[in-house]
């Protein structure tokens, strides 16, 4: 069962702020995902060819196609700078020095 402490930890790690209703919904969904993995863990895969899907004949043909126009892609961005997407920093800047 996903408890309140686990949900608080997940929110902190993911930088999410959920209200009680959203938290309950997410906890329920996570519990369903965990239960599904428990079902999958019960399957015997000892004699399964794990590379079966990687055989060349099972892959789709590699065909090039036109991409979306740049203006369309840029219209999806919250912010652009010098032709690049601007995203919030999620990791602290590493100086390469050991100050400890």
Residue 52 lies in a domain: no
Range of the domain at 33: 4-41
* CATH code of the domain in which 37 resides: 1.10.20
The tally of domains found in the chain comes to 1
| Residues 6 or more apart in contact with residue 10 via CB below 8 angstroms | 16, 26, 30
48-78 pLDDT, tens digit each:
877 777 777 777 888 999 999 999 999 999 9
Q: Residue-wise over 63-88: b if at least 16 C-beta within 10 A, else e?
A: eeeeeeeeeeeeeeeeeeeeeeeeee
What mean pLDDT comes out for the span 30-39? 94
Residue 87 lies in a domain: no
Query: Per-residue pLDDT for 1 more than 50?
Result: yes
Per cent of the chain over pLDDT 90 is 55
pTM here is: 0.47
Residue 91 lies in a domain: no
Cα angle vertex 65, ends 60, 69, to 5°? Answer: 140
Residue 26 lies in a domain: yes
Query: Per-residue pLDDT for 98 more than 90?
Result: no
- Nearest residue to 3 (alpha-carbon basis) of 32, 24, 19: 24
């Amino acid at each position: 069962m996903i408890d309140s402490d686990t949900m608080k930890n997940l929110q902190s790690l993911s930088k999410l702020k959920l209200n009680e209703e959203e938290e309950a919904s997410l906890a329920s969904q996570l519990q369903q995902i965990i239960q599904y993995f428990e079902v999958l863990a019960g399957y015997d895969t000892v004699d399964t060819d794990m590379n079966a899907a990687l055989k060349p004949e099972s892959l789709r043909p590699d065909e090039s196609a036109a991409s979306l126009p740049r203006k369309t892609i840029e219209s999806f961005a919250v912010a652009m700078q010098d032709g690049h997407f601007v995203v919030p920093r999620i990791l602290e800047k590493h100086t390469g020095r050991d100050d400890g």
